[in-house]
A and B are shown apart, each in its own frame.
Chain A
Amino acid sequence: MVSGGVSKFAKARPDATFQKIVKESFDYAMHDVPKLKHSMIDGSVVSYFSDHFTRQLMAGIMATDYLGLCPKPNKRIEGGGATGGLCFQAGWEAVASGRMNVCAAFGFETMSRVPTWKGNEFIALASDVNFDYPVGGFYSGYYAMMVNRHMHEFGTTVEQLAMVSVKNHMNAYGNPYAQKRRKLTIADVRNSAMVAYPLTLLDICVMSDGAATCILADEETAFRLTDHPVKITGVGTGTDMMRMADRPHGDVLLAPNEKKSDYRNLKYPGVHSFRAGRSAGLQAYKMAGITDPLKQLDFVELHDAYTSSEIQTYEDLALCKYGDGGKFVEAGYPFMPQIDYGMKLPMKGALPVNPSGGLIACGHPVGATGLMQAVFAFWQIQGSIKKHYGSGELQLKKADRGLIHSHAGTGTYVTVSIMERGW
């Protein structure tokens, strides 16, 4: 990866159509590597989740032509909430296969075009319309059922969930691209409106208008364009069954740092864990040569559509054992070392998760989200946070290797990509 750009994520951008918002992120990325000429881009991949939000089929080609990338190759990538992560990997595939030397991967969503509850209805159409949607289609409800089972199996608490919200909103305080930048307490999170028990308004990400662009290149071209490229050293993609009710109750897919005896009585994944996340993580770790992710990663940008799914994802990514996700946040592992959260955190900063503020605070313009994470991770590894955020508050001292994680509805598609300092 040689460059990235994002638009400012906002609740509503009535001033622009999706093409212009994409162009803002694309122009930002192009300006950041002046040696990259438009003519050097061999093709592109584009991601957006829902045709319903745009009420425009083939919006992908319209974004592509607005960027002046015709008649070069392009295709649309879609996979629910993981759309952006899948697009990032499709861009990587285009370069890794040798088909392109330089590939632009861009994605967007303009969710403000319908009222919030209609938007929730559209999103719920990403559940089985024969059996699930008509029962009361609502994604927050689906995740609430998953976390209630997680709490039942492992003793996870609502305060532990709230800690994730406090962390991510506080981190976003230093990220000017984020939609919600707030200083909260655990009590604020618990006292906000209950949406789907036990998840409150502040446990859940918001709808957003936004776009993100990543420019990917082969190694030789990358070093011609920049002195500080970031290398993609591992990719993994996992899947699971659309209907939560159908998920198996079998054995844990073991990470290299786990043994079968760790999980004698656990039926897996059930509805408490995301098997696709574990599968994606294991593939990416194997490719990148990672056997102890907690020690070998410097930071993680993961898909916290819900505070609960952040905790579940710590476990899927083997940052801790299954069942220990709540304790992992409580001990402070995923917090930023340099930020004061107003809480006692003995293991603070051991492995910062969502330094950018994540989806909960940045917003979740679905097709852009996975690419946004790649851009924030790219800047973190480059050490260029100060340049791009206007303040170095969120820059980690050591950020040589990061993980990005993108996740679709109840864990149906999950992508994990490992990004490393390339110079």
Chain B
Amino acid sequence: MAKKNPTIAPAASPKVEELMTGTTVFNIPLPADLKALKGMSPIVVKQPYHIDYIHSYGQDSPFFAGLSNGKLLGTKCGRCDYTYATPRLACTHCGRETKWVEIPLSGRVHTFTTCYFGGEEFLKETPFHLVLVEFDGVDTLFLSRLIGPAGPEDIRIGMKVKAKFRRNSQLKPTDVYFVPSE
């Protein structure tokens, strides 16, 4: 079953954009001989799907309230002396309940990328930079967007960054973002 001539290198060939629009069809002709149905092409239909979830941030909710007040809230386990930049209400090391603490608003790029594509929801925002930010005295990292640099060549690991907040809170983790502070 080996295909004789597999594709060689990918060539950028011109093509039109695929659309999710189509034609409404109300009936399909059938052959007189039902044996011919085995050779029938598949019927492909569009099935829209939309949901509004009633999503709760649950025990993470104070973090989002913090963002709307210009604060980055993380959590700390007093027993392990371990601070989580992204809050977690139970310590992963000992299982104890953690307490809310403020995280510094300045940190450094621990790692980064520039996304030129993305999930459909974010495709219109591309290209955008994602960064994991590290903070002095904090044991874990924080995922955010980096705004400002034109491309990945303008970002480096260890680069100093500071948090900025949307004035009109969307109650999403993107209410905070980072900008270079060097």
Contacts and interface: CB of A to CB of B under 8 A. Distances in A.
Interface in A187-222: 188, 192-198, 201-202
A152 to B, nearest CB: 5
B132 interface: yes
Contacts of B86: 131, 243, 245-246
B42 interface: yes
Interface string B88-117: 100010000000000000000011111111
Given A14-B42, A181-B7, A271-B110, A124 B139 contact: no
B47 A55 contact: yes
Interface string A226-254: 00000000000000010111111100000
Interface string A125-169: 000011110111110111011101100100000000000000000
Q: Which of B60, B125, B141, B157 has the most CB of A within 10 A?
A: B141
B32 interface: no
Contact of A249 (B1, B20, B84, B139): B139
Q: Which of B84, B143, B157 has the most CB of A within 10 A?
A: B143
Contact of B120 (A115, A195, A202, A247): A115
Interface in B37-58: 41-42, 44, 47, 49, 55, 57
Contacts of A182: 6-10
B53 to A, nearest CB: 9
Contacts of A184: 9
Contact of B125 (A136, A181, A246): A136
B148 interface: no
A118 interface: yes
Contacts of A144: 113, 115
A143 to B, nearest CB: 9
A65 interface: no
A182 B44 CA distance: 30
A389 B10 CA distance: 24
A271 B9 contact: no
B62 to A, nearest CB: 12
B143 A197 contact: no
B40 to A, nearest CB: 10
A197 B113 contact: yes
Interface in B1-24: 1-3, 6-10, 18, 20
Given A124-B119, A188-B9, A195-B116, A148 B140 contact: no
A296 interface: no
Contacts of A137: 118-119, 121-122
Given A141-B130, A181-B3, A117 B117 contact: yes
B79 interface: no
B167 interface: no
B172 interface: yes
A148 B113 contact: yes
Contacts of A145: 111-113, 130-132
Contacts of A192: 10
Contacts of A180: 7
A118 B118 CA distance: 9
A131 B173 contact: yes
B145 interface: yes
Contacts of B111: 145-146, 148-149, 152, 271
A176 B92 contact: no
A52 to B, nearest CB: 9
Q: Which of A138, A144, A184, A188 has the most CB of B within 10 A?
A: A138
Contacts of B128: 136
A148 B115 contact: no
B85 interface: yes
Interface string B129-155: 011100000011111110000001000
7 contacts: A15-B41, A115-B120, A121-B121, A131-B86, A140-B117, A181-B3, A195-B117
Which A-B residue pairs are the 9 nearest by beta carbons?
A: A121-B119, A181-B6, A144-B113, A149-B111, A245-B141, A197-B152, A117-B120, A138-B118, A176-B2
Given A145-B111, A152-B111, A152-B157, 13 more contacts: A16-B42, A120-B119, A130-B57, A136-B118, A136-B119, A136-B125, A137-B118, A144-B113, A182-B8, A184-B9, A197-B113, A244-B132, A245-B143
